[in-house]
Structure 1
Amino acid sequence: MKLSVKTRFDVGRNGVKALKVILILLGCLIIYFEWISYHLLPLSWPSTSMLETLYPALRVHTDRASKEQKVLRILLVADPQIQGFRDEPPGVLGVITRWDADRYLSKTYSLIYQHIDPHLVIFLGDLLDEGSTASERDYEVYADRFRRLFPLHGSKVLYVAGDNDIGGEGAEVVTSTNIDRFRKNFPTAVDGFWNTSLHLFEVNTLTNAVSNSIDVTSTPDHKLPRMLFSHMPLLRGYPDPFVEKVLNDFQPALIISAHTHKASMSQRSLSSTAYAQVTAGHRSDFAVFQLNPNPVNVQEIVVPTCSYRMGVAEIGYGVAIIDLTAYRLFYSVFWTPSRYGQLACELWALCAVAGFVLIFVVKQNYKLVYWKATKMFR
């Protein structure tokens, strides 16, 4: 069999054309996963306009500068746990993993922030992965990185301390040094128009302390609905004396917590210490909670992690919209893409392209050797 020069070059040109098509498809795939898919996210999130249709008196998106504020918009950020230097791979690989995790958090937070325009942003603990063990120098770097990833743009903020921030995980001791360092770098500022309609309290089961985000006296006003924010869920596990005292003293209309990395909702009677019923978090639409100043039952929302590095399949941000005139809270999770799924698809595509290139080169070299050999023995 003789392979003509024309045939050889036709095969080569066809292979190059096929490679160009494959590279274009790979480029399109990467552009979709890295940019387009994020900008399509709002189409999959629950519609706030539907709430205004169902509740005609509700106006979700009033201007933050308006003096007539009847709706409070809250963005709930759970367990971002930005990666540090010690527990990540050394060298270039560690730089890449931190960069990709930071980029994902920054991009998803920015999109949801613009979509909701919250009056209040609440970080539900575990802000830093190495917050309780970092040196002073590293901690300052982490805190600065965190603020750049999660800008507030004028929103009020509540920072709840988690076990990765101040200690308390396993046998790790919570120290006053870690607590002071956290408060210094992440000061809470939540005074706003909602003060006369709602009371917000931070509960820390790691230190057995309650701080009133509005009044330093930490005395609950039972004429107004009370909401508790905690890193650790309060209605799970064996009854804890501190938690039971908090529930009896404050009688919260709703608890919002994090830590488990998975979305769920719980409910139990205030007069009972029986295990709470745990249900899966809502996949779509808004769940409605009535904020009763004198509740019979207590309910708890557990917000999922917003970081793909926590190893769970479903990640997102909690969004709460509170109608202050009717004491009604609407809650939903705004889900974000599976980053590991995206990276797996991109890696598979890159391997496919590399395989095609390898086969193409080997095949072309084989044909070239065959053509030279047949030419020598003519």
Structure 2
Amino acid sequence: MRSDLCGLKFHMHSNFLSGYENENIITRWDSDRYLRSTFQVASNFFKPDIVVFLGDLTDEGDNDIGGEGNDPFLPSKLERFTEEFGKIKSHILRTVEFIPVNRIASESSLPEKCKNDSLISCVVLSHIPVNVYGKEYASHIMIKINPLLTISAHEHSSFVIYPKMDPLHIEDINDFSVHNFKSDESVEIVAPTCSYRMGKQIYGFGALVIGDNKIISYNVLWSPSRFVALIVYGFFVLIVCFVVCLRISSWFILRTMGLY
């Protein structure tokens, strides 16, 4: 790896753990096993300094504070969530400050920077993309935090948003290439889901490097298709069943004829 990419490496992804409601033990076991295996392979390959989970970790946790579908956001739900998990706090690792924000809640929920230091780069973390659903909230973040980078998820697809372009430019990331971004672009990277249960054809783990020169390099470590593997498994099961049935029927015929 080049020397200009030795700043900070981290995974970010939108996870999904199947819950116990409306889920049988076989599908839950297969989904958990797939996530565990692919995450381990990706982590061993990339060796990140930090792993970022971008929300919606479990099936039942999809609407902890509301805001999706027919489940409205309520301040009481946010208070309940805060009592269990604490207030939103920033975290500094080396020269990068990670600032989590809540797009569903009010703008007043934006945390303050830990340090007003020009050497510290701010990275905003949000489950819902901040530059897609309303310009006012995105502008508020740019003014109050002025992030080097914004990372989000929610859409289950991988793409990058260029908020400083007019009109807003969105570029899909569905390849294996490494994408480089300059610090003054203030891009928002939307990480894909890493679960095959989200109805997407491709899924994987976002791998990002912030270099010492604040150059951002991003790539997706795509996971192998689970559906293809399941089809292959099913095909071999059918072959085995066919061979077993053929052997049993042959044995039965030979026994009936008195040849066995």
CA distance in structure 2 between the partners assigned to 1:122 and 1:278 by the alignment: 22
Q: Distance in 2 between matches of 1:224 and 1:188?
A: 16
Aligned letter for 1:267?
A: Y
Alignment of 1:42-61 (within 5 A): 49=1, 52=2, 57-58=3-4, 60=6
CA contact (8 A) 2:193 2:204 kept: yes
In the TM superposition, residue 199 of structure 1 has moved relative to its aligned partner by 3.5
Query: How far, CA to CA, are the matches of 1:281 and 1:182 in structure 2?
Result: 36
User: Counterpart of 1:120?
Assistant: 50
Distance change (3 Å), C-alpha of 1:335 and 1:352: same
- Change over 3 Å in CA distance of 1:100–1:177 after alignment to 2: farther
Would you say 1:84 and 2:19 are equivalent positions?
yes
The match for 1:311 is 199
> 1:284–1:303: structure 2 CA closer, same or farther, 3 Å change rule?
same
Q: Which residue of 2 aligns with 1:335?
A: 222
Q: Which runs of 5+ in 2 are unaligned?
A: none
Q: Where does residue 246 of structure 2 map in the other structure?
A: 359
In the alignment, residue 138 of structure 2 is paired with which amino acid?
Answer: V
Question: Which amino acid in 2 is paired with 1:320?
Answer: L
User: How far did residue 183 of structure 1 move?
Assistant: 1.9
Cα distance, 1:99 vs. partner? 1.7
SS in 2 for 1:74: strand
Paired amino acid for 2:94: F
Change (3 A) 1:187 1:341: farther
Whichever residue aligns with residue 116 of structure 1, its letter is F
Q: Does 1:110 align with 2:10?
A: no
The whole-number CA distance in structure 1 between the counterparts of 2:89 and 2:236 is 45
**For the Cα contact (< 8 Å) 1:220–1:226, is it kept in 2?**
no
Tell me if the contact between 1:129 and 1:165 (Cα under 8 Å) persists in the aligned partners.
no
Residue type at the aligned position of 1:308? Y
Q: Does 1:288 align with 2:180?
A: yes
**Alpha carbons 1:265, 1:279 under 8 Å: kept:** yes
2:204 equivalent to 1:258: no
Q: After superposition, what is the alpha-carbon deviation per residue over 1:50-86, rounded to whole angstroms, capped at 9, x for unaligned?
A: xx1xxxx3364xxxxxxxxxx11111121x1211111
| CA distance, structure 1, for counterparts of residue 70 and residue 105 of structure 2 | 14
Aligned residues: 254
Match of 1:180 among 82, 89, 93: 82
The equivalent residue for 2:93 is 192
SS of the residue aligned with 1:342? helix
Higher RCO (CA 8 Å, separation ≥ 6 residues): 2
The one-letter code matched in structure 1 to 2:28 is R
Separation in structure 2 between the aligned mates of residue 303 and residue 85 of structure 1, nearest angstrom: 26
Aligned partners of 1:59 and 1:227: how far apart in 2? Answer: 17
> Is residue 233 of structure 2 the alignment partner of residue 346 of structure 1?
yes
Which of 195, 209, 213 aligns to 1:321? It is 209
**Matched residue, 1:73:** 9
8 Å contact 2:63–2:71 — kept in the other structure? no
Q: Which amino acid aligns with 2:202?
A: E
Q: Are 2:203 and 2:222, in contact at CA under 8 Å, matched by a contact in 1?
A: yes
Distance 1:248 1:332 in 2: 28
For residues 265-299 of structure 1, the C-alpha deviation after alignment (integer angstroms, 9 at most, x for no partner) is: 221327x5x4x22222141131111123xxxx542
Which residue pairs with 1:206 in the alignment? 104
Q: Is the 8 A contact 1:304 1:315 kept in 2?
A: yes
Secondary structure, in 3 states, of the residue corresponding to 2:217?
A: strand
Counterpart-to-counterpart distance in 1, 2:47 and 2:97: 21
CA shift at 1:334, angstroms?
A: 0.6
What is the TM-score of this pair, normalised by structure 2? 0.85
Structure in which a larger fraction of residues adopt helix: 1
Q: 1:225 to 1:291 in 2, by over 3 A?
A: farther
Q: Whose radius of gyration is greater, 1 or 2?
A: 1
Aligned CA distance change for structure 1 residues 318 and 204 (closer, same or farther; 3 Å)? same
| SS of equivalent to 1:343 | helix
Report percent identity of matched pairs. Answer: 27
Q: What is the CA deviation profile of residues 18-48 of structure 1, one whole-angstrom value per residue up to 9, with x for unaligned ones? A: xxxxxxxxxxxxxxxxxxxxxxxxxxxxxxx
In structure 1, how many angstroms separate the alpha carbons of the residues matched to 2:58 and 2:224?
22
Please state whether the residue corresponding to 1:227 is helix, strand or coil: strand
Query: 1:207-236: CA deviations, max 9, x gaps?
Result: 133235x62xxx876775432211111222
1-structure distance, mates of 2:220, 2:180 = 13
CA RMSD of aligned residues (A): 2.7
2 CA distance for matches of 1:120 and 1:283?
A: 23
Listed as ranges, the gaps of 5+ residues in structure 1 are 1-48, 61-70, 89-93, 132-162, 373-378
